[in-house]
Structure 1
Amino acid sequence: MSASNVAGSFNVAKFGGTSVANFEAMSRCAAIIENNSNTKLVVSSACSGVTNLLVELANGVQDKARRQELMAQLADIHNAILDQLADPISIEKEVHSILDDIASAAEAASFQTSTKLTDHLVACGELMSTHILAQIISERGTTPAVRFDIRDVMRTNDDFGKAEPQLEDIAALAQEKLIPLCQQQVVVTQGFIGADSEGNTTTLGRGGSDYSAALIAESVQAIGLEIWTDVPGIYTTDPRIAPKASPIPEISFSEASEMANFGAKILHPSTLVPALRHQIPVFVGSSKAPELGGTWIRQEVESSPLFRALALRCNQTMVTLRSANMFHAYGFLAKVFEILAKHKISVDLITTSEISVSLTLDQTDTSGGAPELPEAARLELEELCSVDIEHDLCLVALIGNNMSESKGYAKQVFGTLEDFNLRMICYGASPHNLCFLLNESVSKLAIQKLHQELFE
């Protein structure tokens, strides 16, 4: 069978948690789906706030009263939507059955937690929201909709909490099970979750619902991927920091990847990879205000300005290693990275001088705090050199195009920041960014001043 007669000549739309928070929000999603006849596959997150409640239960709540309180909150969020359905009976049964499953899994977690049980629990949010969203779309009468369990297609390994997708299996299963369904009606399925070869539920990690939407779009060879959130596209910087930030109508994959990597909250960094592999254009818009348009992320864009956007990422940890023996010596950096690799420490940025090297630690897990240098790694490094660790730093990244070929831009940037104490300036590894660290207390002011100078 050739790719052309099995590929999906349709659109995939993904809705985040705030977009499916309640009945009104879900109805707005249904209207967006109805407005684009190409949208045949819908990927939904859990209702807003649900995943956090499930994570707390999965971490093991020994206090029975607290467990019941969390269960009541989960029931309230979903019952409030069920109460507004015209025909809630069949869906109510499904949702309440999942709630019962959560209660017994939460009780098990109170005795002993495990990553496998955590994935089983936190996946329940998406399993419930998709039952309800499919029903809301169907009840509106414009578009027939059916719910599909993505665990039948999203095959992963069994690395619970941050499972790796098995691309060939996903593509084959999508051709067999998903594409034929999408040719008949709108299919509503779950983001963030998958299953291993044994059928155990897995998750792709926090931020994984955008990623799984892109994987699904890739597996059905979609013509486009829409990511609907609570912001109307990608801005020149966070409008909460610089109120005059303006929306960017279109941006290249490489610029958007840099923005995501450097902390722009719009997209998860790995989201774009599957779309990039198949050159599927990605649209980012607000489900609260679809009329405001949004941002298209494409392989090729019409304009490539010198300065595109500013991103800010806080909770940075900088480690500076100094050794007089490093002067004119070789092998020092190799030893440093050997130690870091042994302790599974991912390095983000790096700058070196004759006798010292500074690096920032990458945030790879879902805890949300500042990454730490483990004690064992620090002790091993101290046998080699002095180790200095600094916290409360933020990373500012200026995203743009061909900055190295433009005269005078550095003066414009650093002249604007002459009153700030900049640390660890990185430039040259990518034609798309210039970044540096500064103290968290002045980071937002630096963004405001730079935005005013370069974008306003």
Structure 2
Amino acid sequence: MPDLIKVAKFGGTSMADLTAMKRCASIVSSDPDKKVIVVSATSGTTNLLTELCTEESVETRVEIVSQIKEKHLAICKQFGNPKTLLDEVTALLSELEAIASRKQIMTKMLRDEILSFGERLSSRIFSEVLKVDSGDDIQWLDARTVIKTDNHYGSAEPDIDEIGKASSEILQPLLKDARVVTQGFIGSDSKGTTTTLGRGGSDYSAALFAEAVDADVLEIWTDVTAIYTTDPRIAPDARPITEISFDEAAELSVFGAKVLHPATVVPAIRKNIRVYVGSSIHPEKPGTWIVRDTKEKPVIRAISLRRRQTLVKVHSLDMLHRYGFLAKLFQVLGDHKISVDLVTTSEVSVALTLDSDINNPGQPMLGEEVLEELQKFSEVEIIKDLSLVALVGNNLNQTAGLSGPIFGSLLDVNIHLICHGASSYNLCFLVAEEDAENVVQVLHKQFIK
């Protein structure tokens, strides 16, 4: 194994076309320590594959495959059509077309198989681009042989022990003499069936690879130059953050910052792997380092915004001076795999926040079946079209005189829920979607110096 190992992940915009791929190849070639390269599907491909999974018409599905085919063959043609690459890409596209042409029930298992084609195609092409541009020995690796998961298709849970074993047997021997190009987002269960880690899971995959090879650095190359103090599209005076802690980055990612997948930092924390976020479009610009301990620890480092939130209020007199109600409530949610973000309680009520259904914007993740179960022992009120604002920093729950200025600057805003004190790294509250951007602008101007 080399003395220093870096795992570099490139997102969809970094794989957009041949020009973008060559830019990424240059970034990899300039640093001999970049040994494992993890890539996403070319931009827009996962959306097309998702559309294919929801389309009932075989004719339309074949047309979608035709769009994917045209896109990837165009990159190959521009690259110069090396026969081996063209044969491999054509074979993958033919396999996808065969699946799309069959009339069959769209199971979660089949959906994962279909979605995997995006990364499998982009990684095949990029490995050849990198080989030609760098002149190095480049090995293409099927991520499914290393990233082992359970069979919760669509959002599979990695098996860390099995990943470690597969890495030792398959991946690490390759790193002695070559760079390895592989895929993000996909894995396989104990039977070898394709699984996915969920949308945005390529970052997570890269972190799992970094953990498995005991990397020194994990690099996330994207279309933004750094992690910012807030979304620059909301607050033009937002500025890049040079250094941020694991805990702060985790809070930001969970509460809406889209630079990193929320789970990305977990494997990095386990192995204390430094994470770098930079732009593949402007690699010369300084990015953001995510480390265990930062030199500076401001009370408020950044502000994030998480849209499409739903507030669920559960009311029952059975809560009054009795035990077991919360266990009963969360048992129902757990049985239906519903993830809760924030929770507050009173004597007879519980308020909690959920993401709205991404397939039906504005609709809560609670289905009718869940509501019926909850209504057997409580009254349920649902408030939609909300946004979650999170102030992220250090010692927020121990800093006197902070809440007054924060909420004093929002006197005209109706705040539906406040969560403060559970974590020293964040202060969160819910506001109406229509007020959210103004709230972020006001707070950023006042508290980010």
Specify if TM > 0.5. yes
Where does residue 133 of structure 2 map in the other structure? 140
Where does residue 166 of structure 1 map in the other structure? 159
Where does 1:28-177 land on structure 2 (aligned, <5 Å)?
A: 28-64=23-59, 66-108=60-102, 110-177=103-170
Q: Secondary structure at the match of 1:289?
A: coil
Q: Secondary structure at the match of 1:292?
A: coil
1:234·1:266 contact (CA, 8 Å) conserved in 2?
Answer: yes
1:60·1:111 contact (CA, 8 Å) conserved in 2?
Answer: no
TM-aligned CA deviation for residue 233 of structure 1 = 1.4
Aligned residue among 2, 7, 15 for 2:10:
15
Kindly provide the amino acid, as one letter, of the partner of residue 237 in structure 1: T
* Number of residue pairs matched by the alignment: 448
TM-aligned CA deviation for residue 163 of structure 1 = 1.8
TM-aligned CA deviation for residue 42 of structure 1 = 0.3
Mapped to 1, the partners of 2:122 and 2:343 lie a distance apart of: 42
Where does residue 192 of structure 1 map in the other structure? 185
1:60·1:106 contact (CA, 8 Å) conserved in 2?
Answer: no
Q: How has the CA–CA distance of structure 1 residues 67 and 336 changed in structure 2, closer, same or farther, with 3 Å as cutoff?
A: closer
Mapped to 2, the partners of 1:19 and 1:256 lie a distance apart of: 22
Mapped to 1, the partners of 2:112 and 2:181 lie a distance apart of: 21
TM-aligned CA deviation for residue 36 of structure 1 = 1.6
Mapped to 2, the partners of 1:56 and 1:214 lie a distance apart of: 28
Mapped to 2, the partners of 1:70 and 1:391 lie a distance apart of: 34
Mapped to 2, the partners of 1:23 and 1:45 lie a distance apart of: 14
Q: Deviations over 1:328-379 (max 9, x none)?
A: 444433333333334443322111223322111256x874744332323323
Mapped to 2, the partners of 1:329 and 1:114 lie a distance apart of: 43
Mapped to 2, the partners of 1:114 and 1:45 lie a distance apart of: 23
Q: Deviations over 1:227-278 (max 9, x none)?
A: 1011111100011111111000111101100111111111111111111110
Where does 1:13-412 land on structure 2 (aligned, <5 Å)?
A: 13-64=8-59, 66-108=60-102, 110-324=103-317, 326-362=319-355, 367=359, 369=361, 370-412=363-405
TM-aligned CA deviation for residue 93 of structure 1 = 0.7
TM-aligned CA deviation for residue 383 of structure 1 = 3.7
2:397·2:423 contact (CA, 8 Å) conserved in 1?
Answer: no
Of the structure 1 ranges 148-157 and 275-284, higher mean CA displacement relative to structure 2 is found in: 148-157
Mapped to 1, the partners of 2:329 and 2:146 lie a distance apart of: 42
Instruction: Give percent identity, aligned residues only.
Output: 47
Mapped to 1, the partners of 2:56 and 2:3 lie a distance apart of: 44
TM-aligned CA deviation for residue 424 of structure 1 = 0.6
Kindly provide the amino acid, as one letter, of the partner of residue 355 in structure 1: V
Where does residue 434 of structure 1 map in the other structure? 427
Of the structure 1 ranges 335-344 and 200-209, higher mean CA displacement relative to structure 2 is found in: 335-344
Of the structure 1 ranges 270-279 and 113-122, higher mean CA displacement relative to structure 2 is found in: 113-122
2:39·2:122 contact (CA, 8 Å) conserved in 1?
Answer: yes
Kindly provide the amino acid, as one letter, of the partner of residue 61 in structure 2: R
Where does residue 425 of structure 1 map in the other structure? 418
Q: How has the CA–CA distance of structure 1 residues 318 and 58 changed in structure 2, closer, same or farther, with 3 Å as cutoff?
A: same
TM-aligned CA deviation for residue 24 of structure 1 = 0.6
Kindly provide the amino acid, as one letter, of the partner of residue 418 in structure 1: L
Q: Secondary structure at the match of 1:270?
A: coil
Q: Deviations over 1:25-75 (max 9, x none)?
A: 0011011111222101100111111111112222343141x2232122101
Q: How has the CA–CA distance of structure 1 residues 180 and 405 changed in structure 2, closer, same or farther, with 3 Å as cutoff?
A: same
1:427·1:433 contact (CA, 8 Å) conserved in 2?
Answer: yes
TM-aligned CA deviation for residue 419 of structure 1 = 1.3
Of the structure 1 ranges 54-63 and 276-285, higher mean CA displacement relative to structure 2 is found in: 54-63
Q: Secondary structure at the match of 1:347?
A: coil
Q: Secondary structure at the match of 2:306?
A: strand
Q: Deviations over 1:157-201 (max 9, x none)?
A: 222222222222211221222122122122111111112232222
Q: Deviations over 1:86-125 (max 9, x none)?
A: 45221011001100000011123x4321122111111111
1:105·1:117 contact (CA, 8 Å) conserved in 2?
Answer: no
1:236·1:246 contact (CA, 8 Å) conserved in 2?
Answer: yes
Mapped to 2, the partners of 1:141 and 1:270 lie a distance apart of: 32
